[in-house]
Structure 1
Amino acid sequence: MRDAMVLKAQRFVNSVYGSRIGTTVEETGEADWATMYALTRALQYELGITALSDNFGPTTLSTLTAKYPKLDADTVPSPDFCRIIQAGLYCKGYDGSDLDGTYGARTQAAVTKLKTDMGVEQAFPGADLTPKVFKALLTMDAYVLGPTGTRQAREVQRWLNGRYLQRQDFFVIACDGRVSRDTARALVLGVQYEVGMADGTANGNFGPGTQSALKAHPVKQGDTGVYVQLFSAGMVVNRRPVALTDTFDSYLASAVRAFQTFVALPATGEGDFSTFASLLASYGDQSRPGRACDTVSKVTPARAATLKAAGITYIGRYLTNPSATSLPEKAVQPGELAIIAQHGLRCFPIYQTVNNDASDFDYVAGRTAGYAAVNAARDHGFKRGTRIFFAVDFDAIDAEITANVLPHFKGIKEAMADSGHPYEIGVYGSRNVCARVGAAGYSTASFVADMSPGFDGNAGRPLPQDWAYDQFVIRTLGSGDGQLEVDVDIASGRDTGQGSFDRPRPAVPDVAFDTRQVPALRADLARYMRSIGRPDMGGVGGDAKLYTNAQAVEAIQDQDALITQLSNTYQMRKALIQTAVYWAMRDYSLADQATDQQVADHHLSGSGSVRDSHTGIGEISAADAIQAWNHCIGWGFATGDHRDPAKDADLWAVWQQLSKDNAFSVRTAALVHLWGTRGRPGGQLPPGDRVTTPRSMRLDLAEFEITELLRRYRAWDPDVESQTHQSLAVYQIFEKYNSIARNA
């Protein structure tokens, strides 16, 4: 909201300091970080600091403290210096005395009110401005109750500021009632100060030294004092229905029992170390036992015995491994689920490809992940109704959750619906990710990544209400053949995995398509293409598409015998060929048709300017086809004569075959994929190609290898990344129906 005095503050900093500090701010009348940064630079200029920075860091603070340990009517060095203070007050919503440059009664009253709102009025009485309060003034933190804050949390924030601000590494935290990572860190600092840690040692991390010292200070009903205050503050920070108190009464004990029950601790009603730890850090007491674990190691009979001896019942294992070389046991291995069942253990499946950056998540990737997870779960034998936990393995901030993660899970949910709801959807990630995905209705239980308390998505956030597994420590269990490393998890009982499994579907060769499945295949593909904005006959002008979903599926079915033969000959999944052809046909446009005509005109009459184009149902250029055939003949994958793409006669002959002979196009599509496994030597590769030495063609290619082959197939396309990204779900849809046929 536009504020006349904030606008005046912005005009002041621009007119007086713009040329001095090398930056100006937009004069919007709305307080923002740019304005606060400019005021910080202006202060640094006044202090004589030459290396100006947006950061009010140690140099600024130490210089300010040395020169002006207290700023008041007698010590403010100049009117402009005072106007920096007044401008900051206006941006914070306090009376800046019309930027008159005088530290008078109005400014003093505003500073006094600011310190009262911060909770530091007793630690720093009076109207003078101290360095740490000045530092806080030039932030966007609020010190009045915000719309999403609570009075209980604000009282904790004010108490922490008032009690600990005079310590070296404690700085004013926001007092808006909204629990943040700063609030959580401040609470740990408070614990560290109370257990006797010196300045410079206390750092706000809940490490071994803090934990060891805290064990000597349990609290229980009837106790009073600062440790009860810290404990009750922890309860408030974790959104429990209590208030800051220095007396451990029966009401607090009852609330503690409810909290302990929720986080799966013994419900004693006492503030023992394990409970205190769960309030202070997302991982809690890392010495406690857990009934669940997740691991990238295969569960062998010896390891199963180790897990049982350690009290483990539930084991998280991965459905796929995106890498062909690293962590060779990451995905569920053949026979492993039978071993788990035989030893009375239960398994919950996890789906994770890369998933460690916001760019890995969007609606299309979610659709692909949903289809891929269903296919993999069925391959391994997970029964209908099993919950699959889809991983968000990075510290997603709120904006990334909104823009990337939620659309991703929307795609997963729609893919699961298209598949007939065979499995439940779970989410793995930080507390905030899990809570928001669940609140959006995209998951039914959470697997919480709590080992990183510093994650923005964990710090100061409560455990999600729907948590099923709480990952809190890494341990090496057992010895010899039974040794394995696991992430230990607390199990709430909301998910119990599976203790028996269907017959797995092995990686056997593909067979002829079951024609009874064609209508369902066609419907799945149509739904997906519509969901990504590619309906039948979409586009206008030259971008208008010429083939419908039904026509593309029919053309592929017409070549099913050949595609099956090629699949068996080259140990290549049919879905690779089917996807390439389907996507090429659905992408073929009026503009492509016009280009094809120019090629024909060039070779027939010399009037066209284009020698070659991507043509036929596989959208393959004659030059690419010739190179693919030449290399495959040389490698023994095909027979025939070598041709020269530089010769018009060879180019024209192959182009005509591609354009008119669907079987030749399909066969060539398979050879282009084989060429891709060798790195397309001599051919164009997509920008940023990630694999220089892919494995040879096989039935169990890793997901990233499938991605690479589809990228390399369309290496000519300027939009190759987007096209590949969207076509991966098409691969999984074809694979769904191919697997039905080969496992009938």
Structure 2
Amino acid sequence: MDAMVLQVQQWVNTIYGGRNGFVPAPETGNTGWSTMYSLTRALQLELGLTSTADNFGSGTEAAYKSWGEMEIGNVPTNLKGQNIVKILQGAMYCKGYNPGGFTGTFGEGTKAAVIKLQTDAGLPIRDGKVYGYVYKAFLTMDAYVLTMDGDPRIREMQRDLNYKYFRTSGVQPADGHYQRGTNKALIYGIQTEEGIAPGTQTGSVGPTTISLLPTLGVGSSKTNFVKLLQYALYVNNFDPGDFDGQFDTSVKDTVTSFQRFVMLDADGIAGKQTWLSALVSTGDPNRKGTACDCITEVTPSRAQSLKNAGYKTVGRYLTNASATGLNKKIQPGELENIFAAGLTVSPIFQTYGGDASYFNQRQGAADATAAYIAAEKYGFEEGTTIYFAVDFDVLGHQITNNVLPHFSAIKSEFASMGGKYKVGIYGPRAVGIRAQEAGYTEYTFVSGMSTGFSGNLGYPLPPNWSFDQISTITIGTGDGVINIDNNINSGRDSGQSSVTPGQYLDDLDYPLSFPYINAVQNEVSPIVDSGKNWFQKWILEEFGDVIGADFYLRSANDAVERTLDYDALITRLTRKLQMRKSFIQTVLAWESSVENVLDTAKDLLVIGGGETDSSTGPCQIFASTAIKARGWAAYNGYLDEQILDPSNPVHLRVIWEALNTNPSYNIETAAWVLKWGAVGLLGYSINMLDYSEEEIKATLARYNGTGDKATEYGERNYAIYQAFEKYNELSRLGN
């Protein structure tokens, strides 16, 4: 916490709190955008603006200039003037510039802080006067000094861009990191050199900017353009040498390497397409790619249209996104149509993926399972890359907190399922770079058409890019008309030219579909709770005042949440064992909800050597029961492992510790206990997909043993089974 930042936050809230248009700053003593937004709104209120906003826009700048740009000896000393100075000084403290006091007086300390920012940012005017663009620079969190992991050469570039082009670009960061503001400053520089009038410059590449881009080659005399090209090459990870404005053979070689990387004709001459590939995520959107993706079924005539237009690879979806209502997944016979035309297929997986809340470890595991199942069902060969979509403007903290855990789970789940397929990612450049650096993805399918995405502005193409989506077009005529996204293909992933569908059982369970997760939590938890109430009554009768309010280790809600966390594992197990997921979900949710302090005490006795066995772990299984169930499975060829002896203390200890410390092993064992009980002990069908109500209840009861209490267990928990099954069935229907 910074005491001066806290003082600034408390002051601005005291003076402006309650006024229309003001949003209070967090009084934490920590600087950040929210504090800068509060200071910006405070300035707008002082300047008489009735409509306030977080950003220091043209209206704010005009009002400030009209009031009078501050400098020593020329600042009104009335209350309004003092407040405008204090807002500036507060911003200075928040940005690490010390004005010498939070006084409201524009003295030498404040002037020195202004000069320091002007110098740090590389501005040509360093006179201590608070021009509109200077005040705006103080009211951002942009840094003008080299920050952690910053590149001094990028900072050199940023300061030079500020020096030459700040009048149109504004003061942009000078922190050594290529980013959105740097990208815009670079384009403002190009527009200035092209002679575009300042009032019509935009900082984005449009038709006029494109039409005026020069062609540069060895010996070019357009020094400023060459320097801007050198900057553009460098931030795309192609080092042209010194930023000297000289187009020599070294720069030509760099241009050639860059052209090869982005799949342009490698001639070493910087024409419009080379410029655009260096500046915009689409590159030249009129380029003709050799790959495409579409949500439309590829019929024989459409496949021929694609072939005739020069396309080689088609991206198609493994599943539907039920929220859209679109039937965009691969249709029966469609792959044969594509292969017959001599085209290949690259599979894409997307159900939602349109905001950060979708992405987490649990959903990543579920998506991996669903994609793997779908790919195997279609018969995609080993080594196929499946692209998982991140289809929104993902920010840096969302990549860290949401997307990376999601893809970590995908990679882990793919490995657990046999490692047949590779993990790819579809999304903006930034997320592709981060996922590759983390080691979670093989290739990146870049959503280059989203030119305004933060994750595309200020980021180069990922080193592992396979496809770059640059435009949406329509090709073909008559029955062959098809709307596609036109993609550049790097050659890293050529798609698949054949599939080998195998024997595939119908009616197996799938991961819970995303829309049903909250409904499961809302509906199943109360049912589990109602059962716990009965169990609590029984415990009270048995143990009286021994137990207290903290008897249970977790709530019913937490128990159901725990069950959802293992949805991918449960899906895999039940598909392998030909049983309904609801069996395992019921046991896991119930046993986790009633696990209590007595169970903990019994576990401690086993750990200490006072007992040899106890029911333990998420599904509360005795080691002796686990050995018998897994031994039955191994004896009958369902499980490939050594058969152990439940009377052997060493065997008991090994299995008990596995059950106690490894939740996945415990849940897997619960599946085998259920299978053993139903098939081995009750004599029911090995296919547990269509059990009757009576058979389901008896199987659940047998999990708990025999006798009246076991029967009651089956009867009571059948309601939990039904609640889970409702949404498992809906998820099956969606696939």
Superposition TM-score, scaled by structure 1 size: 0.71
Match of 1:549 in 2: 671
Name the aligned partner's letter for residue 225 of structure 2: Y
The Cα shift of 1:470 comes to 1.2
Distance 2:589 2:383 in 1: 31
* 1:581–1:619 contact (8 Å) kept in structure 2: no
CA drift of 1:476 comes to: 0.9
Question: Match of 1:376, as an amino acid?
Answer: A
Q: Does the Cα contact within 8 Å between 2:384 and 2:496 map onto a contact in 1?
A: yes
Instruction: Answer whether contact 1:290 1:491 (CA < 8 A) is retained.
Output: yes
| Alpha-carbon distance between aligned partners in 2 of 1:222 and 1:589, rounded to the nearest angstrom | 85
- In structure 1, which of residues 112, 115, 140 is the aligned counterpart of residue 115 of structure 2? 112
| Match status 1:521 vs 2:576 | yes
**Which runs of 5 or more residues in structure 2 are unaligned?**
510-571, 600-617, 622-669
The yes-or-no answer on 1:222 pairing with 2:223 is: no
Query: Does the C-alpha gap of structure 1 residues 198 and 368 become closer, same or farther in structure 2, counting only changes over 3 Å?
Result: same
1:286 alignment partner, SS class: coil
The match for 2:468 is: 470
Query: How many Å separate the matches in 1 of 2:431 and 2:44?
Result: 39
2: CA distance between counterparts of 1:427 and 1:172? 35
Query: For 1:673 and 1:396, how far apart are their aligned partners in 2?
Result: 30
Aligned to 1:60: 60
- Would the alpha carbon gap of residues 451 and 14 (structure 1) be closer, same or farther in structure 2, given more than 3 Å must change? closer
Q: How does 1:361-372 map to 2 (within 5 A)?
A: 361-372=359-370
- Provide the secondary structure at the position in 1 that maps to 2:456: coil
Counterpart residue type for residue 108 of structure 2? A
For residues 206 and 407 of structure 2, what CA distance do their matches in structure 1 show?
A: 35
**Could you say which residue in structure 1 is the equivalent of 2:720?**
619
Structure 2 Cα separation of the partners of residues 525 and 566 of structure 1: 9
The residue aligned with 1:356 is 354
Confirm or deny that 1:162 pairs with 2:163: yes
What does residue range 189-588 of structure 1 map to in structure 2 within 5 Å?
189-214=188-213, 217-223=214-220, 224-242=222-240, 243-323=242-322, 326-328=325-327, 330-503=328-501, 521=576, 540-541=595-596, 548-554=670-676, 557=679, 559-560=684-685
Report the CA distance shift for 1:360/1:251 in structure 2 as closer, same or farther (over 3 A).
Answer: same
Could you tell me how far apart the structure 2 residues matched to 1:5 and 1:508 are?
66
| SS of alignment partner, residue 98 of structure 1 | coil
In structure 1, C-alpha distance between the alignment counterparts of 2:119 and 2:497, rounded to whole Å: 59
Residue-by-residue CA offset, 1:43-77 (whole Å, 9 max, x unaligned) = 33432345554432333211101121453322354
Identity of aligned residues (%): 38
Q: Deviations over 1:234-289 (max 9, x none)?
A: 12332332453322222222222221111111222221111100111100011222
- What amino acid is aligned across from residue 619 of structure 1 in structure 2? I
Quote the offset at 1:148 in angstroms: 2.5
| Counterpart Cα distance in 1 of 2:690 and 2:27 | 69
Return the letter of the residue paired with 2:716. Answer: T
Equivalent AA in structure 2 for residue 491 of structure 1: N
Q: CA deviation at 1:12?
A: 4.9
- 1:85 to 2:113 alignment: no
Question: Aligned partners of 1:272 and 1:109: how far apart in 2?
Answer: 45
SS of 1:97's partner is coil
Aligned residue in 1 for 2:733? 701
- CA separation of 1:545 and 1:508: change in aligned 2, threshold 3 A: closer
1: CA distance, partners of 2:347 / 2:594: 40
Q: Distance in 2 between matches of 1:324 and 1:95?
A: 53
Partner of 1:44: 44
Q: CA deviation at 1:79?
A: 4.1
- Deviation, structure 1 residue 303: 1.9
CA contact (8 A) 1:179 1:460 kept: yes
Judged with a 3 Å threshold, the aligned counterparts in structure 2 of structure 1 residues 411 and 32 are, in CA distance, closer, same or farther, namely closer
Residue 533 to residue 132, structure 1, CA distance change in 2 (3 Å): farther
Output the CA distance in 2 between the equivalents of 1:345 and 1:335: 14
| Greater alpha carbon shift after TM alignment, 248-257 vs 438-447 | 248-257
Change (3 A) 1:234 1:26: same
Aligned to 1:97: 100
Q: Contact conserved, 2:579 with 2:687, CA < 8 A, in 1?
A: no
Take 2:715 and 2:52, find their aligned partners in 1: how far apart are those partners? 56
CA RMSD of aligned residues (A): 4.1
Aligned partners of 1:471, 1:383: CA distance in 2, in Å? Answer: 25
Pair 1:502–1:162, CA change in 2 (3 A): same
Question: In structure 2, how many angstroms separate the alpha carbons of the residues matched to 1:508 and 1:28?
Answer: 57
Q: Is the 8 A contact 1:72 1:129 kept in 2?
A: no
Measure the CA separation in 2 of the matches of 1:504 and 1:247. 61
- Tell me if the contact between 1:581 and 1:618 (Cα under 8 Å) persists in the aligned partners: no
Counterpart in 2 of 1:638?
none
Deviation string 1:507-558 (CA, Å, 9 cap, x unpaired) is: 86789xxxxx9999369999x989x998986862299856733333345656
Q: Partners in 2 of 1:53 and 1:418 — Cα distance?
A: 50
Note the C-alpha offset of 1:373: 1.4
Counterpart of 1:475 in 2: which secondary structure?
strand
* Structure 2 residue matching 1:615: 3-state secondary structure: helix
Structure 1 residues 559 and 80, CA, compared in 2 at 3 Å: closer, same or farther? same
Q: Structure 2 counterpart of 1:105, which letter?
A: E
Contact 1:88 1:137 (8 Å CA) reproduced:
yes
Which amino acid in the other structure matches residue 215 of structure 2? P
- What's the CA shift for 1:165? 2.4
Amino acid of the residue matched to residue 191 of structure 1? Answer: I
Q: Does 1:150 align with 2:151?
A: yes
Give CA deviations for 1:133-183 in whole Å, capped at 9, x if unaligned.
11111111111111132122222222222222223xx32111111111122
Structure 1 contact 33–140 (Cα < 8 Å) conserved: yes
- How big is the shift at 1:463? 0.6
| Match of residue 742 from structure 1 | none
Change (3 A) 1:533 1:39: farther
CA deviations on 1:89-132 (whole Å, 9 max, x unpaired) are 23222230223444333332221121111222x2x342211011
- Structure 2 counterpart of 1:155, which letter? E
CA contact (8 A) 1:238 1:460 kept: no
Q: Distance in 2 between matches of 1:192 and 1:80?
A: 38
Query: Is this contact kept in 1: 2:508–2:578, CA < 8 A?
Result: no
Matched residues, number? 591
Amino acid at match of 1:298: E
* Amino acid across the alignment from 1:187: L
Q: Contact 2:281/2:450 (CA < 8 Å) preserved in 1?
A: yes
1:129 equivalent in structure 2: 130
Judge conservation of contact 1:538–1:545 (CA < 8 Å) in 2.
no
Opposite residue 468 of structure 2, the aligned amino acid is: D
Measure the CA separation in 2 of the matches of 1:231 and 1:311: 32
Residues 207 and 102 (structure 1), Cα distance of their counterparts in 2 relative to 1, 3 Å cut? same
Hey, what does 2:141 align to over in structure 1? Answer: 140
| Separation in 1, partners of 2:248, 2:590 | 64
In structure 1, the residue corresponding to 2:468 is in which secondary structure? strand
Q: What code does the residue aligned with 2:203 have?
A: G
Cα 1:139–1:76 shift into 2, 3 Å: farther
Residues 150/220 of structure 1: CA separation in 2 closer, same or farther (3 Å cut):
same
Displacement of 1:26: 5.0
User: Contact conserved, 1:296 with 1:317, CA < 8 A, in 2?
Assistant: yes
Scaled by the length of structure 2, what TM-score is found?
Answer: 0.71
Quote the Cα distance in structure 2 between the aligned partners of 1:518 and 1:17: 60
**In structure 1, C-alpha distance between the alignment counterparts of 2:704 and 2:275, rounded to whole Å:** 64
